[in-house]
Structure 1
């Protein structure tokens, strides 16, 4: 298939590109390579995919030196004219929208950025899907949409009308916008609520990355909610397997959908929502312990109350995704953290801890 993937300099986008290219799909990736976190890591991901950093310019197509069926273009989703021109030229079968302004806490202080990237940019994705009759639009939502909901595990059939951060609100708006376009224009759309993705090539603004960096440098780590925070930590390979399974199964109408008892995760339109998680809630303290074991060092912990915009716990009900494609996450916390730390030490060129003892 010919697939447009947005956000391919990002964490999940990078891994998805690698997997799809190896199975033979033709990929065009776009990313604006913004400076929300260290852009050197974004360029390093692209280099790993064969995109030479020195060749990257705005709106210039760069062909991978590693994969003949991969091309990359640096551009913004907010630039509708350029996005329309790209899609008119390429005529994609599928679009996977992973580009977004990420970060729950950052959205508290920088709301305007989220509206431009996550709302205006997503509207443009919907528009090109409409005009060029894309066969399936798959887009990243987030577990953060569950907000004040305290019923565990989080189900796609739960109400998600009480977000506690603007980031979450923009992700919920994406789901609503996608449903509107599915209803009006019969575009198959599938939203994927990711649950705390971690692993090699991950985001340095995420807690596990910050923890590893601080522990290895002997600096204190900030532990919010006094370590009682719980997250459905999901290893990136498990996320990617779920995305690809959904990608190959375009959303369809729910023949049993009832407007008098509406199921929020489906519709009379070709619209679906799924959770992709590890199907377990793990304490932040346990996650930190796994990092400490793999680094052979104890963290210096500073405890704080929960931050604005955070929720105390997440836990994904993945039954609907399992019913669709047999989805089963297979990576334990201990296995996933070990793989991350191995990559991290190599990426940072640190001397192995044992050699320092």
Structure 2
């Protein structure tokens, strides 16, 4: 786009269209998660979950999926499944039960849990940055419906896999799992906990501290690196998904080109015409369209395309679209929840199913996955639409 001369000034194009807040937030959180993951914190949580929820298959399923959802609100979905899928497979091997319901539930939970916060899923990072939403404000609005959607998902999946989850757990087998075995270094483990708590506090009070999300993420990422892995800086930086970072950079330039050429302005007008210049109609349409499309294509470029479209609504009809917040949350809910529609809807889905195939030689076919997910995601999207309609508009 730059070579073709779409932008008059290349440096100005980068300044105007590349959202560095999103890029630095991703970078900082990737560094932070890479550091604390090596200290055994996530493995420890998984084993403790088994100890706490060892009554039967249903209770264990509820516990594992809830912890995955909770962690996905704090760290990215891919890291969550990378940590929890091996733990889950170890647990199901020990108990000699089918891992499929657990892996499927954790995929669902990771995408739903990521909806709750600005750092839970990349689309939320982009939306919060574009809309100027802070961590607390975003969580207050998206958190309640996320928890409701998690509960509904758990209920439906328990009904779907009723026979496979109907088993008692041998308490003697559970004793073989020792949470302390996950701790590689006690000092590093406790510092990881402190840094995680500090991260949450900084995000919660970022408005009062007058700090950008990216500043907090970079600070906490490099602080963790300095305290816990100062001698392994190069190794940690190799674990950062630089492909994703560069993908975002290029994506912002591409979207900027669509803005510059007026394509997005025309698209906005088409969507407004369909929705009939109504905030409610547009929000409902946004949840449905985002949900369906995100099930089949990556929700990151889709979100990047829709952000300037939503921003442009205030220029087309400032009286109707004076407050865009309901639309930002509608886009977030649709894009994040829609990732659960298919095995390719989100990166976490692909990775979790690949690990199931690699370690257990089991797989969930596309249509089988869709058969399970269709009703769950549809109900989640309907509940989200009702929530936006009643609470946010």
* TM-score for the superposition, normalised by structure 2: 0.24
Of structures 1 and 2, the one with the larger relative CO (CA 8 A, separation 6+) is 2
Q: Which has the higher helix share?
A: 2
Q: Which has the higher strand share?
A: 1
* TM-score for the superposition, normalised by structure 1: 0.26
